[in-house]
Amino acid sequence: MNSRRNFLQKLVASAIAFPLIPADAYTLNEKKEDPAWDGPPLRVAIMGLGSYGTRVAEAMRDCKRARLTGVISGTPAKITNWQSKYNIPAANCYNYENFDRIKDNHDIDAVYVITPNALHHDQVIRVAKAGKHVICEKPMAVNAKEGQEMVDACKKANVKLLVGYRMHFEPKTLEIIRMRKEGELGKIGFFQGLSGFTIGDPTQWRLNKALSGGGAMMDIGIYSINGARYMVGEEPVWVTAQETKTNPEKFKPGVDETIQFQLGFPSGAVASCLSTYSMNNLDRFFLDGEKGWAELWPATGYGPIKGRTNKGELTQPHMTHQTVQMDEMAAIIQEGKQPVVPVDGDEAVRDLKIIDAIYEAVRTGKKVELK
C-alpha cells in the first residue's frame, strides 16, 4: 500500500516522464493460441500496477484470446519489474503523463484501467481519445454524471467501454440466473446481499474520499447493488438507506463505514443489503422465489464460489475469474459477443445511479425514487 501512496503522490506532483527506449532488444511472450480461436489475441495494456493489476496480469497468462502487451504506471521501478516478468517491450511502457502516445502504438488494442476510483473518469476519456478500447474497474466512476460522460466519450471515439464485472461470467452465478429466467424459482420476492470486510491501513486511498469517492459502498458495496439487479432480473425503482459509523476517526466525513440499504422493484420484489468496512464474513447472496431459493456463500470473492439451491449443491467448476473475464471481453470487443449479463458502460452507469440514490437516502433519511 505504501507503493500505491507513493504513486499517487508522484501523480499529483507530475512525475518525471519515463523514457521510451527502442524495443528491438525485447520480444513479446510467445503463446500458443486456443485451437478453437484462429484470430489474433486482444492486446491489452494494464494501467495501475498494484495488487489487483498484478492479479489480472497473472490470470492473463492462461488467457486464450487476450494477451498482456503494455503497461502504464507512475512508478518506474514497477515498470522495470513488469518488463522483466512479463516480457513487455520498452516501447509499450508509459506513465500517466505520456500514455496518450498509445494512439500510435499498434501493439495495444485496449487499456485496462485499474487505478483509484476518482481517477477513472479522466483516464478513460484519455484512452478513448487515443482510439483504444477501454476496460475499467468498478465502480466505473464516483457518480453517475461522470460515468455517463465516460460512456459518451467512448461512443464518440467509436471504442468499446467495458467494466470489470467478473461475476457476470462466473458459472454458479450464471446457473442461478438461468434458473430464475426459466422460472424454476418462481416469482421472485426477496434478495439479500451482504458485502463487507474489516479494512486495514487507515491511510490507504480507499479511505480517502478525494480518491475513492466514498467508503465501503464505493468498493465492496457495489457487489450487492449489482447482484441485486442480476439476481432479481429487474431494475429497482426506489431506495432507502441508513448509515452506521462507529469509528469516525478512521472513517472521515464522506467515507461510509456501514450502510444498510433496501431496494424496491417493479414486480414488488424487495432487496435488503449491507455494505461495510468493519465486519468480516460478509459475502453472501440469497434469492427467494415462490417455487425455490438459491444461495451463494461466498458470493463474490476470488473463489471458489460456493452455492446451493432448493434442488441441491451447485457443482459448476471453479475457473480463475480474471482469466475468464479477459477472454470473454476479448470476444465482446473482437466479435461483438453478447454476455448473459451486460458488462458495458451503460450497465455501470445504472449501478452508479443507485449509489447516488443510496447516498441521497442516507443524507435525507427519505425514500428516493429511481428513474
- Give the CATH number for residue 306: 3.30.360.10
Q: Which of 142, 166, 190 is the endpoint of a domain?
A: 166
Is 8's pLDDT higher than 90? no
Average pLDDT value for the chain: 92
Dump pLDDT digits (tens) for 247-294. 999 999 999 999 999 999 999 999 999 999 999 999 999 999 999 999
Q: Specify the pLDDT at position 39.
A: 87
At residue 238, the 3 state secondary structure works out as strand
Average pLDDT (290-311) is 98
- For residues 155 and 237, membership in a common domain is answered with no
CA distances, 57 to each of 36, 124, 190, 279, 330 (Å): 23, 19, 37, 30, 15
From the list 340, 9, 367, the residue with the least C-alpha distance to 167 is: 340
- For residues 116 and 244, membership in a common domain is answered with no
Q: Is residue 236 part of a domain?
A: yes
- For residues 270 and 173, membership in a common domain is answered with yes
d(CA 287, CA 272): 11
Q: Is residue 330 part of a domain?
A: no
Q: Specify the pLDDT at position 10.
A: 46
Dump pLDDT digits (tens) for 325-366. 999 999 999 999 999 999 999 999 999 999 999 999 999 999
CATH number for position 59: 3.40.50.720
Q: Specify the pLDDT at position 38.
A: 78
- For residues 134 and 224, membership in a common domain is answered with no
Within 8 A by CB and 6+ apart from 41, the residues are 31, 33, 63, 64, 65, 66, 67, 330
- For residues 209 and 352, membership in a common domain is answered with yes
Is 3's pLDDT higher than 70? no
Candidate list 78, 132, 138, 160, residue with the active-site label: 138
Q: Is residue 324 part of a domain?
A: no
Q: Is residue 120 part of a domain?
A: yes
Q: How many domains does the chain have?
A: 2
Q: Specify the pLDDT at position 36.
A: 62
Q: Is residue 337 part of a domain?
A: no
Q: What is the pTM (predicted TM-score) of this model?
A: 0.90
Within 8 A by CB and 6+ apart from 184, the residues are 291, 292, 311
Q: At what angle do helices 321-335 and 51-60 cross, to 10 degrees?
A: 70
Q: Specify the pLDDT at position 13.
A: 44
Q: Is 223 a catalytic residue?
A: yes
- For residues 172 and 153, membership in a common domain is answered with no
Candidate list 94, 96, 165, 223, residue with the active-site label: 223
Q: At what angle do helices 144-156 and 345-364 cross, to 10 degrees?
A: 160
Q: What is the DSSP letter of 28?
A: P
Dump pLDDT digits (tens) for 21-76. 333 333 333 344 445 677 899 999 999 999 999 999 999 999 999 999 999 999 99
Q: Which domain holds residue 250?
A: 167-318+345-369
Q: Is 138 a catalytic residue?
A: yes
- For residues 17 and 88, membership in a common domain is answered with yes
Sign for the pseudo-dihedral over CA of 115, 119, 121, 123: negative
